[in-house]
Amino acid sequence: MNILVTGGAGFIGSAVVRHLINDTEHRVMNLDKLTYAGNTESLASVAGSDRYQFSQTDICDRPALDALFADFQPDIIMHLAAESHVDRSIEGPADFIETNIVGTYQLLEAARTYWGQLSGDKRASFRFHHISTDEVYGDLEGTDDLFTETTPYAPSSPYSASKASSDHLVRAWHRTFGLPVVLTNCSNNYGPYHFPEKLIPHMILNALAGKALPVYGKGNQIRDWLYVEDHARALVLVATTAAVGETYNIGGHNEKQNIEVVHTLCELLEELHPEKPAGIAEYKELITFVKDRPGHDLRYAIDASKIAADLGWKPQETFETGLRKTVQWYLENPDWWQRVLDGDYRLDRIGEDKGAA
């Protein structure tokens, strides 16, 4: 099939593209605006495939979307393009409203127009797969509660509110216009090629540099951690097999407090990279508690039993095996993350400032 992946140069999107090229026979069109978090170097291993194409396109650009749909003729759209960092959404919500809400609207309309022109088997098999987050549910009060596919939405941040809005748009286009959609909501992802502003890579790289490891509040916020390659497999499974109108929560069954994650990273670095920066006896000395961010959700936890029962998916990695692989990858790939930190990964882009990230 022809699969159009929006945001395919991002962290999760690039994992999806690599999985599609390496483990399936599908053809892939990667549509990405290449904002600061988009990195084509994450796709170097598959960029030479004759089943892979790339288009630097903004999902808010409707004429460009129409032209791309007409040329590529997608059978499935996997919509991952989104602004996704909570702290950035607090500092500047406008980009989140534009990309996550307006961009999703433009993509839905382009998809509806394209789908309306299809016929026969191609029309019947077409799918619009919208990829979202568990943050749309807000946070959980009880220690035993879990997010299910029917948990009411209660977003806390501009980011999660914009993603909740996009989820509602997708369901509305299904109910009102009949667009064949499926949705997924995932827990926190981690793994190789993760942009360094996020918790796990930020802590790894700061520790290697002998810098402070800043932990919000007391570090008691709980997240369910999902290895990104497990998530990519789940997403492709949903996109290609799920029934129209279904929603699936995808989680890693790994609830951890943030401070626990940071301590585990320090222990792994002690084992895998004992050569510490000057003046540091133990990595954990670098842990620093900082003022909590506004509206910080305390606990997320996903019930992923539905996707296991319906589609047979379960994560292959435990938190321990996945985190070890992640730390090892960052230790073995300094060229990738150093170019991100330096801003060099943006040097060959079209139509943007070539300065630092």
Do 227 and 256 touch, CB atoms closer than 8 A? no
Strand partners, 223: 256
String of DSSP letters for 38-65: --GGGGTTTTT-TTEEEE---TT-HHHH
The three-state secondary structure class of 248 is strand
The token pair that represents 106 in the structure block: 């433009």
Do 15 and 78 touch, CB atoms closer than 8 A? no
**Which residues carry out catalysis?**
134-135, 159
Could you tell me which residues come within 8 angstroms of residue 45 by beta carbon, excluding any fewer than 6 positions away? 18, 22
Do 224 and 252 touch, CB atoms closer than 8 A? yes
Alpha carbon distance 52, 338 (integer Å): 26
